[in-house]
Amino acid sequence: MTTPRSILITGCSSGIGYHCALSLHERGWRVFATARRDADIEALTTLGLEALRLDVADTDSIEEAVAAVLEHTGGRLDALFNNAGYGQPGAVEDLPADALRAQFETNVIGAQQLIRAVLPAMRTRGHGRIVNHSSVLGIVALPYRGAYNASKFALEGLTDTLRQELAVTAPGIGVSLIETGPVRSQFRANAYRMYQRYIDASTSAHRDIYEAVERRLAGSGDAPFTRGPEAVCDKLVHALEAPRPRARYRVTVPTQLFGLLRRILPTRGLDAALLRSTAAERR
């Protein structure tokens, strides 16, 4: 019998990670689905997935989870999908240092530490796929998302550098980015919790705008052009299974549009377009 391909996916408790874990399992992949909470791990296990505890903001947790995966697979891991992440809302001038550190710990440093942990096994086999989950906000910046913008711009730079380095030293390992726009998930609810934790709107020069920000974060319904998580999974499957994976996969109309505008507009023109696109969020 052919040994099934194996993948480690972070952030599988809900949304994109949850959908991708189940879909890849149905395609015959051996999926190691990770989450932070015991209840989520138990739920994933009941669905037939090999679920592990992994907190991407905790280096010890990362090392323990990867060691467990390699033990279960006899040292083989075919792919890593760095999916876990969240968005920290707030004006740049209102972000406490702890909020910015926490954003980078999860969205950038955790991803890099996972890459460090899995690469030796991939190098030994001469093959592997690493897919990092980025965003339209790794292409352009939008107001009141400074921490998230910064983390995704950093992840994009880290991924591009990694791809070039591995092209020289381990050409059998593919590296891709999936840049998503609005996708149905718990992203907005999680962002609202982090906003409440770190942002003091009462003393801010932006307090009037924060009223609109709070309504948007606490509201229900989808943003325009929102896609389901299957749109991300389709790109992930290509990044994992295609003989020549792309460097970038853009998901949703806003991602494709803003990527185009980034190429053709001067900086001031792009700023004006982005501010117009988010004007309703500030009213």
Nearest one of 62, 176, 50, 54 to 118, comparing CA atoms: 62
Rounded to whole angstroms, the Cα distance separating 99 from 52 reads: 27
Burial 179-207 (b: 16+ CB within 10 A, else e): bbbbbbbebbebbbebbeebbebeeeebe
Q: What are phi and psi of 251, to 5 degrees?
A: -120, 130
Burial class of residue 177 in the structure, from the number of CB atoms within 10 Å of its CB (0-12 exposed, 13-18 middle, 19+ buried): buried
SS3 280: helix
Q: Identify the active-site residue in 18, 86, 148, 195.
A: 148
Nearest one of 233, 209, 133, 212 to 178, comparing CA atoms: 133
CB 227 within 8 A of CB 157: no
Active site residue 192: no
SS3 184: coil
H-run or E-run covering 133: strand 128-135
Rounded to whole angstroms, the Cα distance separating 219 from 221 reads: 7
Q: Which residues are catalytic?
A: 148
